Amino acid sequence: MTPTLAALQRAIGYQFNNESLLEQALRHRSAGRQHNERLEFLGDGLLNFVIAAELYQRQPESDEGDLSRIRAALVRGSTLAEIGRELGLGDWMSLGLGEKATGGHRRGSILADAVEALLGAVYLDQGFDAAATMVRRLFAARLDDLPDAESLKDAKTRLQEALQREGRPLPAYEIIEVTGEQHKQHMRATCRLADTDQIFEGQGSSRRKAEQDAARACLEFVFNLVTKP
């Protein structure tokens, strides 16, 4: 076992029987054929199941929608990237010359994929229980401090629910302007309340983002509800 991989295994609290699985989990596709994408696929499925099972036990009063929102917040790329940084995975990543030159070892998407690949590698090395134990260890602090499901709802969902509570019709969204090149568009959207004809405008780099921004403006003005972007 190389000293560097020994240090990593101490950091993650797991000793591999087959160290080549760990090496593969840390190998980006830019570094060669035996890269980590298949392990990432395996780890992604395992992670979603284990987190779902944890939330099911910890949140007995939550419905499916709330559980899904909390799980999505826990397993999203930005959270996985944070865990990758906490483990220092970037220091052990095998990257091609181009990725090295552009700071790939710090890139959130690469670190997030490596975390999932690591879980897949543990599963192949010692089975489901070992991999599930690692998930619970890596996510322990986040599982003990779960976000409020209501705060995770997007603006369009919160606006729809606010209107339904008052027995009001649902809003209508419309894209009113698209500018920029195909690969880098900027959109403006409106959110119209049918019963008052009030119109709120939003913008973003996609239809979804522009409509969410318009819904956010409506929530803040009509219902005095502030939502996260």
Mean pLDDT of 55-59: 95
Question: 160-198, pLDDT tens digit by residue?
Answer: 989 999 999 999 999 999 999 888 899 999 999 989 989
User: What's residue 205's pLDDT?
Assistant: 92
Among 116, 125, 211, 213, the one annotated catalytic: 116
What pTM was computed for the model? 0.74
- % of the chain beyond a pLDDT of 70: 97
Known binding residues: 40, 113, 116
Q: Where are the domains of the chain?
A: 3-147, 153-223
User: What's residue 37's pLDDT?
Assistant: 96
Known binding residues for Mg(2+): 40, 113, 116
User: What's residue 200's pLDDT?
Assistant: 96
Three-state secondary structure along the chain? CCHHHHHHHHHHCCCCCCHHHHHHHCECHHHCCCCCHHHHHHHHHHHHHHHHHHHHHHCCCCCHHHHHHHHHHHHCHHHHHHHHHHHCHHHHCECCHHHHHCCHHHCHHHHHHHHHHHHHHHHHHHCHHHHHHHHHHHCHHHHHCCCCHHHHCCHHHHHHHHHHHCCCCCCEEEEEEEECCCCCCEEEEEEECCCCCCEEEEEECCHHHHHHHHHHHHHHHHHCCCCCC
Question: 1-29, pLDDT tens digit by residue?
Answer: 445 788 889 988 999 999 999 999 999 99
Active site residue 44: yes
- Does residue 39 or residue 99 have the better pLDDT? 39
Among 44, 125, 211, 213, the one annotated catalytic: 44
Domain spanning 3-147 has what CATH number?
A: 1.10.1520.10
Mean pLDDT of 58-67: 92
Kindly report which listed range (59-63, 131-135, 145-149, 208-212) carries the lowest average pLDDT score.
145-149
User: What's residue 225's pLDDT?
Assistant: 62
Mean pLDDT of 136-164: 89
Question: 78-123, pLDDT tens digit by residue?
Answer: 999 999 999 999 999 989 988 888 888 889 999 999 999 999 999 9
Architecture, CATH, for domain 153-223: 2-Layer Sandwich (3.30)
Active site residue 211: no
User: What's residue 226's pLDDT?
Assistant: 59
